[in-house]
Amino acid sequence: MHYLDIESVSSLQTILANLTGFSLALYGEKREVLLPPVNENKLLSVVKASSHGSGEYDDFIRENIERAHRRNDVSIVKGPAGQYHFFIPLRVEDSVYTLVGGGVYLSEEDRRIFHASDREYHGLSPSQLKSVCSGIRISNYSDIQDACRNIRSIFYLMLKAHYRSATNEKKHRILKTSLGLMSDVSLGRQPDEVFTVLIDLILFLFNAESVSVMVRSNDIFLPRKTTGRFKDQLQAVPFRMTGIVSMTVEQKRACYTEDFAALLKLGLPEDVSSVHLFPVLAENSVVGIVNIVNSFIREEDAEIIFEICRLSGFLFRLVELTTMYKRYLKEIDALNTAAKRLIPVKEPDMLYETILESSVHLAGAEKGSLMLVEDDASCLTVKAAKGIHKRLQSEIRIMEGEGVAGWVLREGMPLIVEDIRKNEWGFTERSKYRTSSFISIPLKIGEKTIGVLNISDKLTGEVFSEEDFLLLRSFASYASIALERSNYYSLAGQLKELSITDSLTGLFNRRYFEERFFEEIHRSERHSLSFSLAMLDIDDFKLFNDSEGHLAGDEVLKYIANMAKECLRVSDVIARFGGEEFTIIMPQTEKDEALLVAERIRNSIKENFPQAWNLFPRSALTVSIGIATFPHDGKDRRELIRYADKALYRAKMEGKDRTVLWTTQEAPMPSSQNPRNSSIS
């Protein structure tokens, strides 16, 4: 009746009554008069107004309306005053109307009988009877049936058109309201705001008793937003993919049940007598369900709710994707920032600290540790930690399979635990931690696990979320690459050092000496500078080796190398030239200054070398040194080395344990062993 256009129906009633000559009245679902009779004859009006006829007529109308509804067909019945009336039921969707008309006689005999028997019953005098009976029609039964069929068709078409028009208008109004409210939902808000608007629309537009919006998680629908009388009960009941729920998801349509067993199977309280389920669709997938309980919903309203749910699903997905996009941007920015911190760090210890600090910051945590596999062994050692005293770090060894980190090392799988007290993994509860939630992630190079990153005690006191977990897993990949790069960098440094150093003494080798010597010549030429080259040889080293053995000889080489290095300046370069011979480049150094440096070395070795031999027939180990200076003694590599070597040879010939400066004089160079009795040039 909410869609009935009374004015239009009244006009149609009048037109049909005039065309057919029958009285017509329209009754509603509760037998109430919607439109009073048109063309009612005077006799019937008088009968209805009499003390006896009024109640009799009302009972007659009520009983025959009910009968016509049961039969769902036209009924033609004889009524008060002996007149025949027809009852036409009209069903439009879930509404039922009744057209009541007629007020005619089927024969002259019917009229005569009324005049003879019922006139006095209704208190009519002969003159009154003659006056009110004028104009009463006499029709045959078939004419009345034909008229009823035509009247029924015309009225049904009008009521149906009114229904469709009103339904479309209502749908348009509700959808317009829905679009207006949902358009106010900002894409920057949380997805739950969409469900809040959806619930409000259903509550106020369709007068629902209780509503719950449930979000899908695998094969379970969890209550997200609930309101109404059964709010608390509905909030506590998840729906599994069975029965009516499964039907709603598979068929992607609204489903209804009031079956008691089905309601109990859903886990609903006994007070719930009916359930409407509407799918929330996003990208043609059911992402949620709207659960409406104990509410009468018309078919046309169900269609509107279905469309609103589809609209909500689209908006929910849009807001969710926007939220995810912003979160991912934030995470990518955080990862980029963290990764950029790793790029310039090559020194291992600093890299360990940077990785841990970045991880703790990303997860908003209080404590953490970075553990690496120790020399390919099946155990982890702590390389960096926050919340653990540094003195204790070196003592911690975690074997494969031991505790959380050991489990992650053995399995090579990341682990997030909301509450270790539940003991789902069999780990021992950790009393030294403030919260019971933690994350442990393997650091991997290919399929090989090289370490474990542990994060615990979220600053807010909450459990670590899936977002924390995924963010740390992504960062762990960066960290693993940085660790591998640092390892290669260290290896490259070691290889480079091995390529330019002597494995026994640790001094630069001859290869590096040649490169450095070449550079120093060009630098000195370009800037008009001097530099000196010294060649140092251990006196009687072959005799020492023969008498004390090669192992003792190796120790002598290492000791003399260290002592010589300690006596040099920062700018000087010492290298092992071969066997027991060493070379020293002294940049920007003239002969007199080079002599002082060389003498400091020679005297330090002679005076400080510990006498720890048994068969060597000398009281001390000594060295001889020859010096040549650029550019006075030579202007290329070959000349300088030859003259420094000749000066060394002179030192040997003059008795060893001395420093000789190269000179072009033919006379032998005096020894520097006893400066008081000789001069050095």
Place of tokens 């001390």: 620
Q: Looking at residue 258, what is its pLDDT?
A: 92
Gap between the terminal Cα atoms of the chain: 131
Residue 368's CB: how many other CB atoms inside 10 A?
A: 25
Indicate the pairing of strand 84-92 with strand 239-240. unpaired
Domains 6-156 and 185-325 share a fold: yes
What pLDDT, on a 0 to 100 scale, did the predictor assign at position 150? 93
The arrangement of secondary structure in 501-661, i.e. its CATH architecture, is 2-Layer Sandwich (3.30)
* pLDDT score at 491: 58
Element (H or E) spanning 331, and its range? helix 299-342
What is the CATH class of 345-495?
A: alpha beta
Say what the pLDDT of residue 489 is: 62
Supply the pLDDT for residue 153. Answer: 93
pLDDT of res. 531: 95
Mean pLDDT of the chain: 84
CA torsion 216→218→219→221, rounded to 10°? -20
Strand pairing of 285-293 and 84-92? unpaired
CATH class of 6-156: alpha beta
Q: Which residues, given as ranges, of the chain have pLDDT below 50?
A: 1, 666-671, 674-681
Using only C-alpha atoms, the chain has a radius of gyration, in whole angstroms, of: 54
Residues paired with 440 in a beta bridge:
415, 454
The predicted pLDDT at position 681 comes to: 28
Class of domain 185-325: alpha beta
Amino acid present at 264: L
CA–CA separation, 616 vs 622, rounded Å? 13
Instruction: Identify the pLDDT of residue 431.
Output: 57
Q: Is the dihedral of CA 193, 196, 200, 206 positive or negative?
A: positive
Domain spans in the chain, listed from the N-terminal domain onward? 6-156, 185-325, 345-495, 501-661
